[in-house]
């Protein structure tokens, strides 16, 4: 049985939304200390809707496929929905990832939340930190 689904291979080979948005409204950059992979997400936001999204990922194939799928899932969505995107949803949309590669999809969830938080910070929009559960790094240390 193949280790990676067709969808993972497709998004790895033909990643959607690769690149940079000049004058992005929100930028999120996160990394995983263990594997050293880095993911950066750029958002263009109009009226609370993600009108454009691009990513740059310096990382493994699963991280690239996760970023690609995550950008597709949030494009055109209101921020309220964008903040609900979990790594589980990204993984499911990819028809699964091997267990030791699940952390790659976590990067996508974190990078997106961090980009929305950046947008809120830059625009002086009030928020509750609980809206960004994946950015709670104390929690990260507890994991494994
Ligand atoms: Fe770390 Fe994939 S191995 S993001």
pLDDT (0 to 100) of residue 39 = 98
pLDDT at 144: 40
Q: Which two tokens stand for residue 91?
A: 């993984």
Domains contained in the chain, CATH given: 6-123 (3.90.1010.10)
**Whether pLDDT at 138 is above 70:** no
Q: Could you tell me the distance, in angstroms and rounded to a whole number, from the CA of residue 92 to the centre of ligand 1? A: 17
Q: Is 35 one of the catalytic residues?
A: yes
pLDDT band (50, 70, 90) for residue 24: very high
Is the beta carbon of 66 within 6 A of some atom in ligand 1?
A: no
- The answer, yes or no, to whether residue 1 has pLDDT greater than 60, is no
Residue 102 CA to residue 28 CA, distance in Å, equals 20
pLDDT at position 11 is: 98
What's the gap in Å between 26 CA and the centre of ligand 1? 23
Residue with CA closest to ligand 1 atom 1:
35
Average pLDDT over residues 64-88: 98
pTM of the complete model beyond 0.85:
yes
Q: Is the CB of 65 under 6 A from ligand 1?
A: no
């Amino acid at each position: 049985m193949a280790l990676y689904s067709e969808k993972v291979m497709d998004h790895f080979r033909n990643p959607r939304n690769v690149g940079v948005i000049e004058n992005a409204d929100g930028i999120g950059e996160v990394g995983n200390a263990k594997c050293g992979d880095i993911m950066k997400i750029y958002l263009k936001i109009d009226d609370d809707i993600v009108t454009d999204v691009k990513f740059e990922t310096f990382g493994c194939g699963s991280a690239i496929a996760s970023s690609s799928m995550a950008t597709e899932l949030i494009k055109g969505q209101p921020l309220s929905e964008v903040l609900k995107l979990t790594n589980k949803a990204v993984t499911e949309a990819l028809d699964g990832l091997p267990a030791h590669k699940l952390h790659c999809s976590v990067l996508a969830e974190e990078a997106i939340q961090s980009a929305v938080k950046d947008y809120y910070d830059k625009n002086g929009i009030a928020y509750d930190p609980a809206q960004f559960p994946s950015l709670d790094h104390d929690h990260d240390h507890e994991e494994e």
